[in-house]
Structure 1
Amino acid sequence: MNTATHLRTSLADAITADGELADPAWRDAAASVPRELFTGSYFEPVPGGNETRYRPVRPGDDGWLPGIYTDRTLVTQLDGRVRADEVTGDEPVADSPSSSSTLPSLVLRMWRQLEAEDGQRVLEIGTGTGYSAALGAHRLGDARITSIEYDPVVAASAASALAAAGYAPRLIVGDGLRGDPDGGPYDRLVATCAVRHIPLPWLHQVVPGGKILVTLSGWSYASGLALLTVTGPGTATGRFLPGHTSFMIARPHDRPPRPTLTLLPGEERATRIDPAVVGTWTGSWVAQLAVPAAERMGEGAAQILWDVSTGSQARTAPAPGGGWTVVQRGPVRLWDRVEEAIAAWQAAGEPHQEGFGISVSAERQRVWVGAEDGPGWDLPV
């Protein structure tokens, strides 16, 4: 029986079995909120070729409803403008994802990690489809949830879905990086988009002792999920959490447009690290901290770094006699900085992101390894 109620209950049971829903109230939210109202049509990735292409899946199509109640992220918009229900025909399209419905287990895990309690007010950055806001409203009450969406088309769709599902949180269309200066203070803030640094308005809109849960990312698209405690107006400290969490980066924080990459000659030398390490989850994170204005491409021994702001380049390759070489050019020696950062991380025992912390003030935002006085890197503010 593939009715929505049955599929929704089965998904809630599966997430509970995985240990994400220890709180019965969140399990009830997962079993009650109709995800199909929030996703509607969505895109399926089509394998093959050099670029990912997407096929629209619409209500009534084979697999539409079971797909919605599979624990996965569903792409709902491409290129900041194309929605699945607007695509004519069934031919795949090749734009980049710009909005999505995050896999339910991650949404619920983040609500749990946020440590939101009865009576607290929560500010959500990135309404998206509205599914996360609906879960929060079900658990904490409509009056306790405010959600901000940057894209007015996405926001309108979420508002309609929330109303259809019977929820009425406070919704704002605007720049979530500015927060909600007229609606605070808040006890909790959760971001369903990634940022390059913590927006300072958030630190003034969450009460001292309040929590901020946010994914830090960058132009190389490495990610780490951090839980911060606000220590005072404009200041916070926190730790990164276990697991592997990634979100689309907030559009104002995304890299600027760039021309097609042309690899140019430069100075060549042997590398001091295996380039493949920057292709691992935490290795790529460390490399991004070291060169936050760079975009990373390639895999394995063949890595390419391109500094978006200066045009500096670094590219690695296997050396004929063993080991690897790097060619660098431009005012920023990208690979030198990456080697230094990777060496510091390796000396600390190569911890996953849960071994990292973050300190934030109006003057500086710093990510560090181990302890606050350990090796660290400033975020681009």
Structure 2
Amino acid sequence: MDEYVQLLADLTEAGALGEEWRGAFERAPRSAFIPDTVWAPDDDAPTGYERVTKADAPDAWWSLVNTDGVVVTQVDDGRADGPGIATSSASMPSLVATMLRHLDVRDGHKVLDVGTGTGWTSALLCGRLGDDRVTTVEVDPAIAAEAALRLAAAGFAPERVVGDGLAGWSCAAPYDRIHSTAAVRRVPSAWIEQTRPGGIIVTPWGTPYANAGLLHLMVGRPGEPSHGRFVANVSFMWMRAQRPHAVVEPVGVSDHRGPSAMDPELALEDVNAAFAIGLRVPGVRYEHVWDDADPSGTYRMQLSDGAGSWASVRHTAWDAEDAVHQSGARRLWDEITSARLWWLEEGKPDLHRFGVTIALDGAQSVWLDDSGNPVA
């Protein structure tokens, strides 16, 4: 516990944890909500993760829990035969504190917590507002059941729901605040409808290309749209129903080949470039691949829109005549190059300059600096 006390002191000194939340963090220590079995990154493991148990490796377990880092609590949706993809986690304490600060709760507020996970955030909200002011929704029944046990053991009793967080929970609506710990590509209409006018929604938001923004959305008054800005650089796991498609190279499809007009490194120059590019290339996801026999010579970026268009660009000799392969209705690498040029022409805006408007019919538009300047 001494390590956790020091962590809270560090977060307070850094300005991440304010006095209005300090008491809740003290009453709900993170360790009370972390499962006895977690996963730590391990490049030598077949799946990329090493299992760490509290019983067999207590020092390693406590080190993960009481530091300002992510703790992976589930891989492959709980399947034993998966590829080793993290599917649930306990977020960094500094990020949890940041999101709760942006939620801007007041005494008496009702909050919907989307994505119960370990139950820690739900406990913090209960510690700040009271059990009867918090409803939490979790899509995974196994995760929800374990969170219920840990919440009860720690003395917290929010209303718990097992279901799709994208649908919210209308039975307890309206809410003053909605807090999501899973990323969305589109803000669900249900969240808008279940939030009081003037209320706030805080959620990770991104594109398949760059899952990077924390959206602070103010719900509009009756007859008015909702507006919000991106207030921080965050990366969360996707809502399960909004997970991007896999990047699959087409077989037996003719492609267009040519040189690249841009060094592929610049396509991910920094988070601001990636975020802006993602806004301009709808539906496009990337991955890096290589051939084990010659990793440096074959390292390449592959792109797909999930609708038949695909591209690949080689990092070595990227301006050679055969460096870029593109197929399908869209020329995805050309779109990436054009999107980055737009970002440069706009003065390299960082993600804080972008925002979102949700119209009354649920239509979502993203803009730069103000709602009158939509991102095409």
Uncovered stretches (5+) of structure 2, i.e. residues with no partner: 290-295
Q: Deviations over 1:111-158 (max 9, x none)?
A: 001111111111111000000111111011111111110011101111
Residue of structure 2 in register with 1:20 after alignment:
16
Alignment counterpart, residue 150 of structure 2, candidates 157, 161, 164: 161
Change (3 A) 1:225 1:138: same
Quick check: 2:286–2:302 contact (8 Å CA) kept in 1?
yes
Q: Which runs of 4+ in 1 moved over 6 A?
A: none
Structure 1 counterpart SS, 2:21: helix
**Aligned-residue offset at 1:311:** 2.1
Separation (CA, whole Å) in 1 of partners of 2:105 and 2:138: 21
- Equivalent residues in 2 for 1:95-244, closer than 5 Å: 95-232=84-221, 235-242=225-232, 244=233
**Aligned-residue offset at 1:11:** 1.4
Change (3 A) 1:319 1:154: closer
Residue of structure 2 in register with 1:329 after alignment:
327
Separation (CA, whole Å) in 2 of partners of 1:61 and 1:208: 49
Change (3 A) 1:304 1:182: same
Separation (CA, whole Å) in 2 of partners of 1:76 and 1:117: 31
| Residue 301 of structure 2 is aligned to residue 285 of structure 1 | no
Q: Percent identity?
A: 33
**Aligned-residue offset at 1:187:** 0.7
**Aligned-residue offset at 1:260:** 6.3
Quick check: 1:240–1:355 contact (8 Å CA) kept in 2?
yes
Q: How many residues are matched?
A: 362
Q: Deviations over 1:223-254 (max 9, x none)?
A: 21110101145831111113x21110000011
Residue of structure 1 in register with 2:25 after alignment:
30
Quick check: 2:260–2:318 contact (8 Å CA) kept in 1?
no
Q: Deviations over 1:20-76 (max 9, x none)?
A: 122x23112222213222112211111347862332333352312232111111011
Instruction: Give the TM-score normalised by structure 1.
Output: 0.87
AA aligned to 1:75 is: V
Separation (CA, whole Å) in 1 of partners of 2:325 and 2:248: 20
Residue of structure 2 in register with 1:46 after alignment:
42
Quick check: 1:125–1:193 contact (8 Å CA) kept in 2?
yes
Separation (CA, whole Å) in 2 of partners of 1:338 and 1:275: 10
**Aligned-residue offset at 1:93:** 8.6
Change (3 A) 1:302 1:368: farther
**Aligned-residue offset at 1:205:** 0.6
Residue of structure 2 in register with 1:77 after alignment:
74
Root mean square deviation of aligned Cα: 2.6
- Equivalent residues in 2 for 1:286-325, closer than 5 Å: 286-298=276-288, 302-308=300-306, 310-317=307-314, 320=317
Instruction: Give the TM-score normalised by structure 2.
Output: 0.88
Quick check: 1:53–1:94 contact (8 Å CA) kept in 2?
no
AA aligned to 1:61 is: A
